Amino acid sequence: MNKENTPALEIVSVSKSFKEKRRTLPVLSDISLTVGQGEFVSIIGPSGSGKSTLLHVIGGLTRPDAGTVRMNGAEVTGQQGHISYMPQQPALFPWRTIEDNVLLAQEVHGPVSREAREEARHWLAKVGLAGFEKAHPHTLSGGMQQRAAFLRALLSPQELMCLDEPFSALDALTRSDMQRWLLDIWEENRRSVLFITHNIEEALLLSSRIYVFSSRPATVLHAIDVPFPRPRREEVTEAPEFLQLKRQLSEWMREEQRKMQAAHQGGSRQ
């Protein structure tokens, strides 16, 4: 099989429901999506729509009721250790130095070579964390911690990076800084990325394709290709096409949010 054409991640008709007090709670319903080699793909959807469950399925923590997960052409449904991951909170280990934190994911998959350590140091300098190699995480600001957490994911041996709303805990200013930073770094490296967010502008700025999820149970409502050429600059956010796409996505999202609220009220009236 040609590696160029095999997608980094392929999710085929995945469904999952949880049992809760004798009721079945469907969370994912027939989800299919693809992340090509070197592609930046976002999932956007209302909060509580099961995006985290999907990530747990991809990471192999949760087995889907139906459907398969394939990576680089091989089926990996229910198997762990195939993705690199960046969680919502940085989740740096407070007893490790920044350098050791960044190397943690590599350490889990085998001994860390001296070259890997050097590479980590090189990257730390590159992302503005020079001089913090031996510092402990609590001495860093929120944005710096997230950069270290991103680096930890970037330096993982696995090809596919899953980023789970990585900037949602940051303040607005730091957030937009981090988006630009991520855009630059990604365009230089072109790793395959699955990015989960509920920020429309963020998704449009960074991704090549966006999957819009419905409210629970999550289905793929729309898949849109983001047409702006690379490398992108931040000015793209002011282009009329960008604004139009943004309006369209906002409308879909609002609609889903409304449906969710209606369902919630309906549910509480019973």
Partner 1 sequence: MRSWWKNVWPPLVAVIFFLLVWQLLTSLFHIEQWILPAPSDIARETAAASGGLWEHVWATLKLTVFGFAIGTAIGLIIALILHLIPFLKQALYPLLILSQNIPTIALAPLLMIWFGFGLLPKIIVITLVCFFPVAVAALGGLKQTDPVMMNYMRMIGAGKGQIFAKLELPHALPSIFSGIKIAATYSVMGAIIAEWLGADKGIGYYMMLQKSGYRTDRMFVAIMIIVVLSLLMFGLIALLEKWFVRWKPKQG
| Residue span 97-136 as binding mask against partner 1, x where in contact by CB under 8 A, dash where not | -------xx-xxx--------------------------x
Is 76 or 226 the residue whose CB approaches partner 1 more closely? 76
168 lies in the site for partner 1, by CB under 8 A:
no
Place of tokens 């409308």: 251
SS3 content of the chain, % helix, strand, coil (to 5): 40, 25, 35
The interface region with partner 1, picked from 30-38, 84-92, 194-202, 228-236 by CB under 8 A, is 84-92
In angstroms, the CA 10 to CA 74 distance is: 10
Number of other CB atoms surrounding residue 137 within 10 Å: 20
89 lies in the site for partner 1, by CB under 8 A:
yes
Helices (H), the chain: 51-59, 98-102, 104-108, 114-126, 142-154, 172-189, 200-206, 240-269
93 lies in the site for partner 1, by CB under 8 A:
yes
Residues 40, 85, 123, 211: which binds partner 1 (CB under 8 A)?
85
Residues 42, 53, 84, 215: which binds partner 1 (CB under 8 A)?
84
Q: Which residues contact 228 (CB under 8 A, 6 or more apart)?
A: 236, 239, 241, 242
Q: Is residue 231 within 8 Å of residue 208, measured between CB atoms?
A: no
142 lies in the site for partner 1, by CB under 8 A:
no
Alpha-carbon torsion, ordered 92, 97, 102, 104, to 10 deg: -80
DSSP-derived 3-state class of residue 207: coil
Is 140 or 212 the residue whose CB approaches partner 1 more closely? 140
Contacts of partner 1 in 148-167 (CB under 8 A): 156, 162
Is 96 or 180 the residue whose CB approaches partner 1 more closely? 96
* Beta bridge partners of residue 16, listed in sequence order: 28
Is 98 or 124 the residue whose CB approaches partner 1 more closely? 98
262 lies in the site for partner 1, by CB under 8 A:
no
Is 34 or 97 the residue whose CB approaches partner 1 more closely? 97
Is 27 or 183 the residue whose CB approaches partner 1 more closely? 27
What count of Cα atoms within 13 Å lies in the side-chain half-sphere of residue 117? 8
Size of the site for partner 1 (CB under 8 A): 28
In angstroms, the CA 36 to CA 58 distance is: 15
Q: Which residues of this protein are in contact with partner 1, per CB under 8 A? A: 55-56, 59-61, 80-85, 87-89, 91, 93-96, 104-105, 107-109, 136, 138, 156, 162
